[in-house]
Structure 1
């Protein structure tokens, strides 16, 4: 019997098994109320010991189980989505390396091993973004890699600074007061978290990473690449609280990121970019929660967001795959009539993203916004939080109307394929998580939470803002000949500015390109220019020329001797008079 191994189903089944095992360990750890700490000593140098450390507490195990669950569903989804791919084993291997790098970041409190996983995420993400090997993918891969390298520099600097204080394990500094070295080290980690989570001004690379295959986008935007920056700052939150001004900076940047992403998503027409901008908005919400000192709420939203965001991308992939490859929502419509199961899953994910009561997103967003009313540091950041929440409902309803409920624009029914069962099953699993994960995780994480009294107006304010945003989203969708199709110069300029993320992509590329251009000029002028003349090669060539010139004096030529005498005589006359 000729047996052929299915890389997608085999790898997905293995990841699902480890996800179940990790969930079982979460139950054991929570029941015992303890954590497991493994340490292998590698080398001991004077007073500093280099060791490989793994920590298994409820935070790392719960997040790891969710990452493995989503990864298994994404790989099983890829079995049909990437069925025409020639190099299936290579694609699966890259995805597994991606997941392994994220797992190393999750379970390690040691900055050296975090750096290994951190660089692994950056390298494999570049390979996955340029997977289709065209000029657009290469440009997107380069801006993704170069933007993340800025954060890698922050991790490298923090390793040196923590080494000067005696240990690379950040858990050893929980009870230390802030000093100059520790402050600088935390700022370097803070920079790494900002770049990896695509906060302003490093936001341009996240929509550009949409050049990767859609299953990869589901991983990147839900639980791996962008989640690594949030997870790192959650782990360092107790040190961020010690630096009073760092929280204010984080709150301002994250609030502006949320606001910018919410506005731009309402102007965008690309299906995957709208979902990418929604990721950017939710990352800003998590970062704002960390800035307010509500890191547990940020972790809770990180888990629930991973479920419905992976589901959103898988639904988008199914629509693109069955609809002839089109990603423009203006060409979609009436998808609910011929893809009912995908439409139900997309609606569940969109409503969870909006924060509809009793879905996954409602629990975490409600906690963060109500907690912001208790612990806010300024009214500006709180106002942007609520505005961005309304815009989330606005672009979510707009996306559903254009793609699902609206009338069909240009996409003919002959181009639309039937729903593939291999795609539908993973989406149903994630849809179940998008519905019930909020209630389940809230009982796990906040089992011993104190009772909080909230004013009635503040309690319904979240629902009022969400409802208002949904109503505006419906109005914007019904008015299809609105600002985006207006002929006025002002409308064109505003559409261009918002569709380019406040010119963020242009500025980000120029920030990278101009220093490289100046470096090229300096390389030509100094390395290949003056340094060649003043360096070893220049000295050598000068000595050779001098020796060749001096050899002329030893050739025995009478003319040469006569000229030397004349020049010497003239020189003596000049210095005498």
Structure 2
């Protein structure tokens, strides 16, 4: 029964995805937009109106999200085959996709909040799906990090009251100089930074790998983490030629560099791919802040295709390795799982920007626009260093898992027999190869001439080749090199732990308050207030009770003594 549900939803999602793609193409060619207002309820003079925006961007994005979701559900049929709660899992995935749909077609901050919070809540349920301590911790940091962005979005909604409506799409162009719109812009950027895991909110993204791998494929390719980018594409007018745009550019390139560096020192297969997602998000965020929203959207779509495929391949390997995710225990998988490793190689090369694969068309265009733009040397260096690091960790991953020496147990069950998972992967493989070329023809129909000197034209290729060589060298000499000195070990620890961001965003935030609370309890509640208050009163009453008890225990002697004293007192009074 559970398996047939997977097939039903797969076919439904594929049909809807294809329909939306064809309609989106029609809208793109005719430059057509539909704005639907649905009056939900009208009471006296107040009306609650639901608004939907259908343009080529929202339709294409929905089509891609539904296509990847369909492939993920088909893939889950085998990956989650032994799960007793398969219906619950599929329901959560569909709720997740529905929330994303809400967010994509909303030109209104209220309905965006519905989709935004829906993504946050369902992602929490999916991260804690396996119900162990690690999952609960990861779910908590995910939920709390995203809560900051939710609050920022609520504050933006409050500030939108200055304009008389929450349909931000009406006011963006005509209110650029207003202080209110600048404040709204700051709030929207903060919300996007938390959802797309930019510095300093990056630590939740690798932690969210505690979710099942099909969910990771969906979350890290086209849904949760891209929600912030998509929101900023809609608000991109606020970022152009502004301090906010410059701030986002610096944050974007730093995130890209930090995650690329961290991935080179990571051994968890899923975390390496998660950090590569973070790197690509930084790339999208930075190019968006430079004023190229179409380029950012183009990379968003191509990245969704090869990243979903990369996660599916990783999931297939983990499934075969009996849930081991450490790349040091893999090696030479190409001889045991040739089809899976072929898919993974293609996805990895697309991520690196290998010519004529999906990632090349968007990534190369972005880097050439960076070379053409008026930028300082720091941003320029960060872009190309991060590109080199991407190729570096990709080749390191290939060496450790797909080639190199076989490091697993001699008795293993590695095989390419998971046909249903392979169907899901092969469905995405075609688009990971052809998708970039197809989208470049559609989104940029007029050929763009980017005239650069030969050195800058070849710089991307040179950086990629150097990165590949560095990745191979790093995988060869890493362990012996690391242990040479304690200083080197500390440096590797710093770079490999995302610049200590997980510690800073958990213990760093909690420690002061927890320690203050402990000191307060120790010194006040159980300290001076006890000494002067409860304990002091208790001691006083106790001493009095003891004295009283003494009096009552020796009552006859005391009565005689009292009578003698009383007689002496009377005698003295009589003499006086």
TM-score (norm 2): 0.87
Looking at structure 2, the residues matched to 180 and 42 of structure 1 have their Cα atoms a distance apart, in angstroms, of 32
1:350 maps to 348
User: Are residues 1:324 and 2:322 paired?
Assistant: yes
1:510 maps to 507
1:381 is displaced (CA, Å) by: 1.1
1:215 maps to 214
Looking at structure 1, the residues matched to 341 and 269 of structure 2 have their Cα atoms a distance apart, in angstroms, of 14
User: Are residues 1:112 and 2:105 paired?
Assistant: no
Secondary structure of the residue that 1:222 maps to in structure 2? coil
Looking at structure 2, the residues matched to 308 and 482 of structure 1 have their Cα atoms a distance apart, in angstroms, of 34
1:509-548, aligned counterparts within 5 Å?
A: 509-514=506-511, 517=514
Looking at structure 2, the residues matched to 216 and 92 of structure 1 have their Cα atoms a distance apart, in angstroms, of 10
Task: Classify 1:491/1:439 alpha carbon distance in 2 versus 1 (closer, same or farther; 3 Å).
Answer: same
2:283 maps to 285
Secondary structure of the residue that 1:370 maps to in structure 2? helix
User: Are residues 1:190 and 2:189 paired?
Assistant: yes
Between stretches 516-525 and 282-291, larger displacement belongs to 516-525
1:289-300, aligned counterparts within 5 Å?
A: 289-300=287-298
Say whether the 8 Å CA contact 2:2–2:86 is kept in structure 1. no
1:37 is displaced (CA, Å) by: 1.1
Looking at structure 1, the residues matched to 252 and 117 of structure 2 have their Cα atoms a distance apart, in angstroms, of 24
2:246 maps to 248
Looking at structure 1, the residues matched to 69 and 490 of structure 2 have their Cα atoms a distance apart, in angstroms, of 40
Secondary structure of the residue that 1:167 maps to in structure 2? coil
1:77-476, aligned counterparts within 5 Å?
A: 77-176=75-174, 177-241=176-240, 244-448=242-446, 450-476=448-474
1:411 is displaced (CA, Å) by: 3.4
1:170 is displaced (CA, Å) by: 1.6
TM-score (norm 1): 0.87
1:17 is displaced (CA, Å) by: 1.3
1:565 maps to none
| Structure 2 counterpart of 1:53, from 51, 54, 73 | 51
Looking at structure 2, the residues matched to 524 and 167 of structure 1 have their Cα atoms a distance apart, in angstroms, of 49
Secondary structure of the residue that 1:447 maps to in structure 2? coil
1:500 maps to 497
Task: Classify 1:157/1:336 alpha carbon distance in 2 versus 1 (closer, same or farther; 3 Å).
Answer: same
Task: Classify 1:422/1:380 alpha carbon distance in 2 versus 1 (closer, same or farther; 3 Å).
Answer: same
Long gaps (5+) in structure 1: 530-577
Task: Classify 1:4/1:241 alpha carbon distance in 2 versus 1 (closer, same or farther; 3 Å).
Answer: closer
1:430 is displaced (CA, Å) by: 0.9
Looking at structure 2, the residues matched to 199 and 301 of structure 1 have their Cα atoms a distance apart, in angstroms, of 17
1:545 maps to none
Looking at structure 2, the residues matched to 279 and 128 of structure 1 have their Cα atoms a distance apart, in angstroms, of 19
Greater than 6 Å deviation, 4+ residue runs = 44-49, 518-525
2:488 maps to 491
Looking at structure 1, the residues matched to 357 and 71 of structure 2 have their Cα atoms a distance apart, in angstroms, of 20
Q: How many residues align?
A: 523
Looking at structure 2, the residues matched to 197 and 471 of structure 1 have their Cα atoms a distance apart, in angstroms, of 30
Cα RMSD after superposing both structures: 2.3
Say whether the 8 Å CA contact 1:292–1:377 is kept in structure 2. no
Task: Classify 1:523/1:159 alpha carbon distance in 2 versus 1 (closer, same or farther; 3 Å).
Answer: farther
Long gaps (5+) in structure 2: 527-576
Say whether the 8 Å CA contact 1:204–1:505 is kept in structure 2. yes
Looking at structure 2, the residues matched to 321 and 449 of structure 1 have their Cα atoms a distance apart, in angstroms, of 44
Looking at structure 1, the residues matched to 516 and 102 of structure 2 have their Cα atoms a distance apart, in angstroms, of 35
Looking at structure 1, the residues matched to 187 and 102 of structure 2 have their Cα atoms a distance apart, in angstroms, of 20
Say whether the 8 Å CA contact 2:173–2:237 is kept in structure 1. no
Looking at structure 2, the residues matched to 516 and 40 of structure 1 have their Cα atoms a distance apart, in angstroms, of 47
Task: Classify 1:519/1:430 alpha carbon distance in 2 versus 1 (closer, same or farther; 3 Å).
Answer: farther
Looking at structure 2, the residues matched to 123 and 198 of structure 1 have their Cα atoms a distance apart, in angstroms, of 16
Task: Classify 1:92/1:372 alpha carbon distance in 2 versus 1 (closer, same or farther; 3 Å).
Answer: same
Looking at structure 2, the residues matched to 341 and 465 of structure 1 have their Cα atoms a distance apart, in angstroms, of 29
Say whether the 8 Å CA contact 1:278–1:392 is kept in structure 2. yes
1:118 is displaced (CA, Å) by: 0.2
Say whether the 8 Å CA contact 2:298–2:362 is kept in structure 1. yes
1:396 is displaced (CA, Å) by: 0.2
1:44 is displaced (CA, Å) by: 7.1
Say whether the 8 Å CA contact 1:376–1:382 is kept in structure 2. no
Secondary structure of the residue that 2:173 maps to in structure 1? coil
Between stretches 497-506 and 124-133, larger displacement belongs to 497-506
